[in-house]
A and B are shown apart, each in its own frame.
Chain A
Amino acid sequence: MKRWHIRDIILVTIIAIFMGVIFWALGPVYTILAAALAPMGLQPLANELLLGIWVMAGPLAGFVIRIPGAATLGELLGAVVEMFLGGIWGASTLISGTLQGFGSELGFIFTGYKRYGWFTLFLSSLTTAIVTFVWDLFRNGYAAYHLPFLLLLFCVRLLSIFIFGGVLTKLINNLLVRAHVLKD
């Protein structure tokens, strides 16, 4: 099995920082969305909609650096970078980051780090959605919501993760494969 080398560690960190830059650029969108949805008590939906971009570092790192642990490390480093750049959520970002990354990682674990196609991406999106949702049941008190709303939140989350962590990641991967920098 491939081991971590310094080049891979640098690359996974750059990807994490890059996703941080993208997410940071989306800050205003998120704020507007959250503020617009808040009065109806729908603020969590803003999180769910954009969560896909936030967790994208995981599957992207997993696809670009095909080493066990890449997805987890990509997402965890994203959280560390955010913390160092003055992100306010502190230690809880580290925990969420690790869980999100591990969620994506599960998809790659289940396919044995051998298949890098649609199936793996769908599986990875599903595991990410489930793991992170369980965490939010506790952390953000989601467990108290009525079931229909809870289902809505989950579906939006799965969709967002699938679009960004799945479809977009696959399209990026295709370009990299065609440019001969990644294997199919």
Chain B
Amino acid sequence: MATVTVQSLTYTYPKQAHPVLDHLSGTFPTGKFSLLTGVSGGGKSTLLKLIAGLIPMSATPITFDGHPLSAITPTQRASTVAMLFQEPSTQFTMDTVENELRFALENQQVPAEEIADRCDAALDFIGISNLKFRKLMFLSGGEQQKVALAIIVAMDSDVILLDEPFASIDPPTRLILLEKLVALCNDRGKTIILADHDLSGYQQWVDHLAVLADGQLTLLSTAATRERFAAFTPQRLQLTHVQLPNDQLTVCLQGTQLGLAHGDRQLLTPQDLSLYAHRTTLITGPNGSGKSTLFKALVRLGRYQGQLTYRQTDITKIRKRRYARQVGLMFQAASAQFLNVTVAEELALSQKYGDHAYFTPTRIQQLLQQLNLAGRDEQVLYSLSSGQQKKIQLLCMLIMAPDVLLLDEPLKGLDYASIQAVMTILKTVQQDLNLTLILISHQLSGLDDLVDLHLTLADRHLTYQGVSA
């Protein structure tokens, strides 16, 4: 059991002028579930990493029941504080679930004869005893997060930190994980700090809301937390002129008995699927349901069952080089798109091969202005904020102007003004060049003007929504 106290913590990223955390103070009480919220890029991850001791600091203003982390012997630190990370797949050392649990307990110098029992107890607590001998790499993101929590349970860590743990996790798994976390709080007195930028679906679980803004932390009381949750309304999808596909539409991509799987888990039961040209289609569905997997299949980066055709030709029969220019993907991670070092180089590459008749240098400058990106030509792409990266990435793919452009979460991490700008640009370019846009988005507000067709992925099936024309 431990209360985490932060006393006037200031932290500046290397090579940056302004601190991201500025004389931040706050207390996370023992046995309570605190939700840490704030805009993305606001320093939530950094704060958690500092508490976990993963970023070394000379004099640490963070204490656990009055003891600084440096006063605790290194091997016992993990039983004081442990962290569950956003990216499920890069938090394991060993090959199987059992071996990873053993590894963690060996690190804590648990006597060999106790290890097996503690592993089993932890797996049993999370309810994943059936996964014990499975290879970690073949588990789904949700299963991997369950294993990561089981390891923290086995290590019996007093303070449990979770950094956006549900970013790619399906809702049922999220619910199970939340129930287990609450049980750890109430029954075992664990201190839990969970960072998430999205507040929806937490009110019944969380004791305290901690708001991180402008480098400062504000801890709300239980009553204030309740008020805040009551005032928070989740975004609603409002699509007023979405219609069911009709005969006048041209099919551009056609799946015949198209199925998708991740390992041995079926994501999409084989079905026929048509995607239509010169329209904007929105695909929605729960996290982890297979939307990104569908996009990867469409650009030939992932396996699929059945057949996929593009304008009546099997996509595996079209030359890779040609097909990549017809059907493009704006990746969910902006860095996956970039090939160069600076903003100017990246734009120049798109201009070289893209639609230079439409995207004249003047227009590009105009678009950069619109996106509030002017004058950043010589900046290194990888040092831009995630929102700026996202906007540059979008611009690069639009300039390429492929017949079909798949957009995987194009609005992720953007502020309100940027979302408005991006929406206007998407709408204009789509109409001017008669492009086919297919997008996945969790950001739902403001989509109404853009979207013509709406596909939902639920219960392993894709269905068009809307009224018939």
Binding site for B on A (CB under 8 A): 175, 178-181
**B-chain residues with CB within 8 Å of residue A179 when the two chains form the complex:** 341, 380-382
Taking CB atoms, residues of chain A closer than 8 Å to B246 are none
Q: Report which residue of B341, B342, B383 has the largest number of chain A beta carbons within 10 angstroms of its beta carbon.
A: B341
Q: Is there a chain A Cβ closer than 8 Å to B15's Cβ?
A: yes
**Residues on the A chain within 8 Å of B342, using CB:** 178
In the bound complex, what is the Cα–Cα distance between A175 and B346 (angstroms)? 13
Cβ contacts A to B, 13 pairs, < 8 Å: A175-B341, A178-B341, A178-B342, A178-B380, A179-B341, A179-B380, A179-B381, A179-B382, A180-B15, A180-B380, A180-B382, A180-B383, A181-B382
Q: Roughly how many angstroms separate A180 CA and B13 CA in the complex, as a whole number?
A: 14
Chain A proximity of B379: nearest CB distance (Å): 11
Kindly state the separation between the CA atoms of A175 and B380 in the bound complex, as whole angstroms. Answer: 11
A127 to chain B, nearest CB (A): 31
Question: For residues 1 through 47 of chain B, which have their beta carbon under 8 Å from a beta carbon of chain A?
Answer: 15
Q: Complex: how many Å from CA A36 to CA B405?
A: 43
B123 → chain A closest CB, angstroms: 26
Q: How far is the CA of A76 from the CA of B380 in the complex (A)?
A: 34
Q: Tell me the complex Cα distance, A179–B346, Å.
A: 13
**Bound-state Cα–Cα, A180 to B383, Å:** 9
Q: A178-B342, A178-B380, A179-B341 are in contact. List 10 more A-B contacts (CB 8 A).
A: A175-B341, A178-B341, A179-B380, A179-B381, A179-B382, A180-B15, A180-B380, A180-B382, A180-B383, A181-B382
> Nearest B residue to A6 by beta-carbon distance?
B93
Residues of B within 8 A of A178 (CB): 341-342, 380
CB distance from A126 to the nearest CB of B (A): 30
A180→B341 CA distance, assembly (Å):
9
- A100: min CB distance to chain B, Å: 28
Residue on A with the closest CB to B340? A175
Residue of A nearest to B345 (CB): A178
CA distance A78 to B166 in the complex (A): 35
Q: Which residues of A contact B341 (CB under 8 A)?
A: 175, 178-179
Minimum CB–CB distance from A8 to chain B (whole Å) comes to: 16
Chain A residues whose C-beta falls within 8 Å of the C-beta of B381 in the assembled complex: 179
Complex Cα spacing A141 to B15, Å:
55
Q: Which residues of A contact B15 (CB under 8 A)?
A: 180
Which residues in window 134-163 of B have CB below 8 A to A? none
Q: How far, in angstroms, from A179 to B383 measured CA to CA in the complex? A: 8
Q: How near does chain A come to B28, taking the closest CB pair, in angstroms?
A: 28
> Complex Cα distance A178/B345, Å?
12
CA–CA, A178 and B380, complex, Å? 8
A181 to B380, CA, bound (A): 11
Q: Chain B contacts of A181 at CB under 8 A? A: 382
Cβ proximity bits B301-338 to A, threshold 8 Å, 1 near / 0 not: 00000000000000000000000000000000000000
Measured CB to CB, the closest approach of chain A to B98, in angstroms, equals 20
| Residues from chain B with Cβ under 8 Å of A175 in the complex | 341
Report how far A132 CA is from B183 CA in the complex, Å.
61
Cβ < 8 Å to A, chain B residues 335-383:
341-342, 380-383
CB nearest neighbor in B for A10? B93
Tell me, rounded to whole Å, the shortest Cβ–Cβ distance linking A168 to chain B: 16
Compute how far the CA of A143 lies from the CA of B380 in the bound complex, rounded to whole angstroms: 51
What is the minimal beta-carbon distance from B343 to any residue of chain A, in angstroms?
12
| CB closest chain-B residue, reference A179 | B341
A181 to B382 alpha-carbon distance, docked (Å): 10
Please measure, in the bound complex, the distance between the C-alpha atom of A179 and the C-alpha atom of B335, giving whole angstroms: 13
Q: Which 7 A-B pairs have the closest CB atoms?
A: A178-B341, A179-B341, A179-B380, A179-B382, A180-B380, A175-B341, A180-B383
Give the Cβ gap from A79 to chain B, nearest Cβ, in Å: 20
